Amino acid sequence: MKRTIMLAGAVAGSAAALALPGCIFVDGSSSNSAYRGYGSTSSVQFNSIVASNTQSRIGEHVDVVLARFPAEHVTLVRSSVLPSGEAVSVYRVYAREKYRSTRFERYYVFQNDTLSLLTDDESEIERISMYGEDHD
C-alpha cells in the first residue's frame, strides 16, 4: 500500500511538471543547497583575505584593491554615474570559514575608480546616496 501511494505521488508530481511548461519544481530545504557554500573558504584562505584587507588604502585604484581578493568573494553591490559625471561603485568582499561561524565582510566605495571609503557597516553604505551625499 505504501509503495502504491509513493508511486501515485511521483506520477502526480510528474503530471504537474508537464502541466506547467517552463516551471522548475524544487524539493527540499535550502539548508542543504549549494547556497550554503556561498563565501565559504578554508581557514588559510580566510586569513589571507583578512590580511589583504589591511593593505587597502584610500586613493588606491579599484583594480589594485580588488585584485587582492579571490574573485569569488567579491560582489558589485551597486554602481552609478552622478550628474557631475563622477562614477561611484560599491563592492562587497565576503568570506566565511568552512564549518565555523567566523566571517569577514567589508564594503569598498570607489569614486572615479579610486577607493574613497572602506567600512564593515552595511547601514553606513545604505545611507550613502548615489548622488554623493550622506543621509543621516
How many angstroms separate the CA atoms of 23 and 130, rounded? 37
Tell me the residue type at 129.
Answer: S
Residue with cell 505504501: 2
Instruction: Tell me which architecture the domain covering 37-136 has in CATH.
Output: 2-Layer Sandwich (3.30)
Beta bridge partners, 95, equal: 104
Query: pLDDT tens, 15-40?
Result: 444 444 444 444 433 344 344 556 77
State phi, psi for 83 to the nearest 5 degrees. -55, -25
What's the Cα-to-Cα distance from 128 to each of 25, 52, 102, 132, rounded to whole Å? Answer: 39, 25, 27, 7
What is the pTM for the complete model shown?
Answer: 0.65
**Residue-range domain boundaries for the chain:** 37-136
Query: pLDDT tens, 41-99?
Result: 888 888 889 899 899 999 999 999 999 999 999 999 989 888 888 899 999 999 988 87
